[in-house]
Amino acid sequence: MLGNLIQQTVNALTIGSIYALIALGYTMVYGVLRMINFAHGEMFMLGAYVAFLILSMLVGDVGMAGAIALTVAFVVAVFLVGFIGVGIERIAYKPLRNSTRLAPMLSSLGVSLSLVTGMQILAGPQPVAFPSFFPVVRYEVLGGTITSMQIGILVAAFVLMLGLHFLVNRSRIGIIVRAVSESRPTAQLLGINVNGAISMVFFVGPLLGAAGGILYASYYGIMSPTMGAVIGLKAFTAAILGGIGSIPGAMLGAFILAFVEVGGTALLPVITHGVLGTEYRDVLTFAILILVLLVRPAGILGEAVSEESIVYKREF
């Protein structure tokens, strides 16, 4: 019993750390632009495909890649996807920045569909085996099994989240981004480069999403052009649950969602005597989304913001 509890806890922490990396991208964009970037799930997908392409260029057979090649592929891939995110913002979102709030969201849906379709054309629609970025070693802890891959994913995710914390709260760039999130017109009057701050958000968000995609593909050993669809929605649910616009809220929501998902997967067949199986885990996720929107739309750590105050901040 204790061993199973430990194993399920580590499973939830592993999945939750991946969800958190993606949810942070949603919440950062919303915090600055009050916009839901529906193409963010595709940054998750691009991370895996770009890393796979770089590995193929470095070693040919990705299954034989060593630690140096894997590290180089990871770092280069996340930075490339970060720059892709900046490019997408400049082309698809910036021209619509002063239009209605619906326009950039519709544009992000178009970008999302374009990226998925483009990847299906370039790489094929079928799933592709993805190499492990960590050696698979199993450890027995009080009757539960923990793998070195899970430890590696947790360490990598927490390092990235800690880096984001210091970037946002302890750096000059973070101060600028927070100022822009409070009021773009006021920040502009103070001489702050608003476009630069927004570009930084669209660089860091996709970078974290790409890292999540690589870790996810490495964990499950597979990638596909549509992998960002469901995972992106789950991360979006996590951001809503924690309070979209709140960085700590996105992390908290991701881990809560992961624990509910893993716990529900384990308990559903027992509670329902086999009527509902593990295939209903996604139903739990979206049931939580509906429940949160009905009961507390601002999320656990979010603040209720009226439409009038948003218009005031935008138009000043």
DSSP assignments along 229-245, one per residue: HHHHHHHHHHHHHH-TT
Q: What is the pLDDT of residues 184-219, one digit of tens each?
A: 888 888 888 999 999 999 999 999 999 999 999 999
Greater pLDDT, 305 or 68: 68
68, two tokens: 């140096």
| Residues paired with 139 in a beta bridge | 146
Measured CA to CA in angstroms, residue 101 lies from 33, 104, 108, 206 at distances of 9, 6, 12, 21
For residues 260 and 277, give the distance between their C-alpha atoms in angstroms, rounded to a whole number. 15
Q: How many domains does the chain have?
A: 1
We report the CATH number of the domain holding residue 164 as: 1.10.3470
Q: Model-level pTM?
A: 0.88
Domain extent, residue 18, equals 2-312
By mean pLDDT, which of 6-10, 78-82, 215-219, 298-302 is the weakest?
298-302
For residues 106 and 44, give the distance between their C-alpha atoms in angstroms, rounded to a whole number. 19
Mean pLDDT in residue range 126-149? 85
Q: What is the pLDDT of residues 60-93, one digit of tens each?
A: 776 667 788 888 999 999 999 999 999 999 999 9
